[in-house]
Amino acid sequence: MRWRRALGNLLTVAASTLFALALLEIVLRFMPVATAPPLVPPSAGDPIQRYAPNAHFTWSLGWDFYAVVHGRTNAQGFVADYDYDRTATTPLVAVIGDSFVEALQVPFAESVTGRLQAALGTAGRAYAFAQAGSALSQYIAYIEHAAAVYRPQKFVVVVVENDVDESMYGRRKRDGIHHLYLQANGELELKLTPPLGRNAVEDALRQSALALYLLRNVGVLQFVQQHGPIPVPDPARLVEGEQVIAWFLTALPKAARLPPRDIVIVVDANRSEIYGNAVPANLADLQHYFGQMRAKLIAEARTQGFNVVDMEPAFRAAYARDRVPFESRTDRHWNRYGHAVVAEAVRNALGTWSPFDR
């Protein structure tokens, strides 16, 4: 008799849980849950992974949706309010990066690329080539694509904390983009990492508003990472990172078909240090690694004649003046203010480029 009662209670709990989950799923479908545009995987004829063209999306921050952005992709599958014209002859600056340049978290007009386009007006064009999960390796693929199809006169390449190590195939965070493969002779080779086929469970999660809400708005994975084991420093990672930087700076002007002086390299800062905040233990190794990599990249790039923008002095000056953080309270990407400070620094780096004068 007891087992029947226990089984009945268990079934009641299971039914109640399923009902609650179904109710949450229905309610969240009417809420602005963060949803990225669908992906178009790379192919032999088009090795650049991008989003579905002309797709509308909604992105939001926080469990309470404290920031909501509605945007779209253009006909070329990049996040932008306008299409890219390969036949146009007005001067072009191509902005290369990952999720910081893609900038789903802010309206496109408030992003670095959107602000540059507003400054150029009809005298020039600003095109963004970016997608979340990209790294220095993928940036070279973007630059080769942009140079071959659109022929920019200037490039702006944004480098953030995870761009160096994630360029290596063994340290990648996503497939479907280009990575560096270590060869037997010790050299690095750039190759496309094919996307993995999705399974039924992944497809179901992508279609579930509740799953997307927990992953993107609540940030359950970030919570687990923050409270998980502290990473052990890896000395080999530093040596590998320096090799990636040397490869990147050599490949960059060749891919761009431009001299280093026409390529702006924007390097993000360790923003926690600017605010005077203590770095969480689980992020300390990443912050230390990025600090060493950014110093190496800035020094080498300047030696080789690139137009380098170190964002640390600009961010420090802006924060001392306005006391406004450069990211949102639940997201490490730049917010509108962060994008404004970066865009101003890029605009200054481009200096007397003639389209701005006109």
| Mean of pLDDT over the chain | 90
Phi, psi of 311 (to 5 degrees): -75, -10
Is a pLDDT exceeding 80 seen at residue 26? Answer: yes
Q: Which residue has the higher pLDDT, 60 or 287?
A: 60
The reported pLDDT for the residue numbered 230 is: 64
pTM of the model: 0.92
Q: What is the pLDDT of residues 301-324, one digit of tens each?
A: 999 999 999 999 999 999 999 999
3-state secondary structure of 125: strand
The reported pLDDT for the residue numbered 175 is: 93
Is a pLDDT exceeding 90 seen at residue 120? Answer: yes
The Cα–Cα gap between 348 and 136 comes to 24
Strand pairing report for 125-130 and 92-97: parallel
Q: Taking residues 165-179, what's their average pLDDT?
A: 94
Q: Is residue 339 very low, low, confident or very high in pLDDT (cuts 50, 70, 90)? A: very high
Three-class DSSP labels, 82-103: CCCCCCCCCCEEEEEECHHHHC
Structure token pair of residue 141: 């693929």
Q: Taking residues 325-341, what's their average pLDDT?
A: 95
The reported pLDDT for the residue numbered 200 is: 67
Q: Which residue has the higher pLDDT, 172 or 3?
A: 172
Which residues have C-beta within 8 Å of that of residue 13, sequence separation ≥ 6? none
Beta strands in 115-256 (DSSP E): 125-130, 154-159, 178-182, 188-192
Q: What is the pLDDT of residues 204-252, one digit of tens each?
A: 677 888 888 888 898 887 766 665 666 666 788 899 999 999 999 999 9
